[in-house]
């Protein structure tokens, strides 16, 4: 495969297409679940998310969704070492969901048409080889997506997750699901409780996303203590923690298996 574009794009035309992806109505559908639910997702899947993060989730008997850029498994990038294929396989066997994050963590606005679909096909095939099943849900690397790419990926995956901060309430576009960064650098218990209660009031779907799990995480990561506290807040409010696939079924975005 050819070299790909990495990072958030600040080009004027990309900003316009990003705005259109957010504002042009997609296939909006109502959330029909009888109660609010939450999901925790890990992007890129640093090794610490697959070890320390998974150990905390396992102690609480809950599962998360891990969005994997499958061609990069086991590599060191400028932030962290990514979990290897064996770790990803262990996560899947433990009941965690493995989602698609493209094969090479590419900005999807840099790909058009068949190139984008081919990127996702390569990643899906790799994940199927590792886990025994292809991914059903997608997360946009860098949170960057244009209107054309959103429409293509909406046909390819059941849901696509963004980094736009809002709970998913009422009628939603499954290809533009909102999420909050579960980062010690920007979130605290008070704000988390406010978000949880807002989600509960509308019987919505709260998605939280993070990266590394460490005592001194990157600005895009979470400490073990705050991950534990997040699970406690959800439990105290009676909000079940589901994988993205489970939450999508709960809220009627996809048919039950």
pLDDT tens profile 217-238: 999 999 999 999 999 999 999 9
* Closest C-alpha to 101, from 133, 139, 46, 152: 139
Say which CATH class 29-250 falls into: alpha beta
Any idea of the CA torsion for 7, 243, 48, 83, to the nearest 10 degrees? -70
* Closest C-alpha to 230, from 250, 247, 218, 213: 213
Chain centre distance of CA 79:
18
The alpha-helical segments, DSSP class H, found in the chain are 12-23, 47-48, 54-59, 85-93, 113-131, 147-156, 189-201, 224-236, 244-250
Backbone angles phi, psi at 9, to 5 degrees: -95, 135
Q: Which residues contact 229 (CB under 8 A, 6 or more apart)?
A: 189, 192
Element (H, E) at 247: helix 244-250
pTM score over 0.85:
yes
Measured CA to CA in angstroms, residue 57 lies from 44, 228, 250 at distances of 18, 8, 20
* Closest C-alpha to 181, from 162, 207, 208: 208
Q: Which pLDDT tens digit goes with each residue over 89-123?
A: 999 999 999 999 999 999 998 888 899 999 999 99
- Could you tell me the pLDDT band of residue 2, with boundaries at 50, 70 and 90? very low
Q: Which pLDDT tens digit goes with each residue over 22-76?
A: 788 778 899 999 999 999 999 999 999 999 999 999 999 999 999 999 999 999 9
Token readout for 25 is 């109505």
Backbone angles phi, psi at 156, to 5 degrees: -90, -35
Please give the pLDDT value at position 130: 97
């Amino acid at each position: 495969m050819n070299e790909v574009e990495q990072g958030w794009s600040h080009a004027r035309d990309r900003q316009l297409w990003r705005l259109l992806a957010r504002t042009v109505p997609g296939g909006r559908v109502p959330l029909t679940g009888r109660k609010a639910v939450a999901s925790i997702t890990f992007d890129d899947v640093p090794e610490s998310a697959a070890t320390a993060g998974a150990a905390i989730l396992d102690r609480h008997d809950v599962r998360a969704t891990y969005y994997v850029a499958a061609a990069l498994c086991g590599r060191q990038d400028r932030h962290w070492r990514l979990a290897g294929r064996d770790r990803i396989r262990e996560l899947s066997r433990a009941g965690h969901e493995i989602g698609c994050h493209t094969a090479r963590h590419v900005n999807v606005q840099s790909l058009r048409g068949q190139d984008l679909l081919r990127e996702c096909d390569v990643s899906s095939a790799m994940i199927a080889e590792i886990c025994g099943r292809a991914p059903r849900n997608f997360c946009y690397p860098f949170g960057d997506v244009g209107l054309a790419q959103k429409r293509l990926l909406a046909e390819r995956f059941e849901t696509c997750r963004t980094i736009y901060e809002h709970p998913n309430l009422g009628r939603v576009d499954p290809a533009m699901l909102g999420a909050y960064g579960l980062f010690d650098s920007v979130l605290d218990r008070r704000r988390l409780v406010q978000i949880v209660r807002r989600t509960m009031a509308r019987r919505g779907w709260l998605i939280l996303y993070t990266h590394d799990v460490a005592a001194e995480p990157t600005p895009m990561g979470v400490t073990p203590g705050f991950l534990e506290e997040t699970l406690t807040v959800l439990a105290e409010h009676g909000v079940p923690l589901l994988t993205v696939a489970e939450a999508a079924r709960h809220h009627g975005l996809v048919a039950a298996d």
